[in-house]
Amino acid sequence: MDVGTPLAAAGWSHRYGTTDTSFESSDGLAKVYLRRNRLDHAAEMTGHQERWLMLAGPPGNQWYATASSFTPEDLVAAMNTALTDPAPVIRYGDDLRRLPPQATATPVKPPAPTPLDMRRVHAANARATVAPSPASARPFIPAPRPPSAPQVPRPGQSL
């Protein structure tokens, strides 16, 4: 599969430049850039250049990912497929407070416990032990310390 196939299949527009190719989602909130010119491997590994750049979200609140020239094309294609997937993404905690205005948040109900879940809870409760009450616990008595050796002054030292 060509790495751009998921983007084209999702209806993203594309532009071919002399040294790069870019794709953009129909709402303009996601973009993918491919540099086609020769890149310096060391610069790619230090983050100064990238073969692939994926961006999603409005300016100022963007998620991004990069991939080097040595990233397998199947992995880049999988990233592009995930980027075009319209399925909701589960978010937690601070992620919910930082959603851009374009996002729609829908609460998700936790799934009902399955019969297997119930058997596991029952088995865990059956194995559980109860800690002894403080009244029945034996008090901690530290071991006696051996007496310290008497201090003997060294020559030229007084105690």
134/3: higher pLDDT: 3
Beta carbons of 105 and 99 less than 8 angstroms apart: yes
Helix (H, G, I), strand (E, B), or coil: what is residue 12?
coil
Q: Cα(90)–Cα(45) distance, rounded to whole angstroms? A: 30
Please give the model's pTM, rounded to 2 decimal places: 0.61
pLDDT category at 139 given cuts 50, 70, 90 is low
In the 3-class helix/strand/coil scheme, how is 114-143 assigned residue by residue?
Answer: CHHHHHHHHHHHHHCCCCCCCCCCCCCCCC
DSSP code at position 153: P
| Strands across the sheet containing 63-67 | 13-16, 20-24, 30-35, 52-56, 63-67
1-53 residue pLDDT tens: 588 889 999 999 999 999 999 999 998 989 999 998 888 888 888 888 899 99
Q: Which pLDDT does position 124 carry in this prediction?
A: 87
Question: For residue 46, what are its two tokens?
Answer: 């230090």
Helix (H, G, I), strand (E, B), or coil: what is residue 15?
strand
Q: Which pLDDT does position 1 carry in this prediction?
A: 58
Domain assignments of the chain as residue spans, ordered by start: 5-97
Q: Cα(67)–Cα(76) distance, rounded to whole angstroms? A: 7
71-107 residue pLDDT tens: 999 999 999 999 999 888 887 777 777 777 778 888 8
pLDDT surpassing 70 at residue 157: no
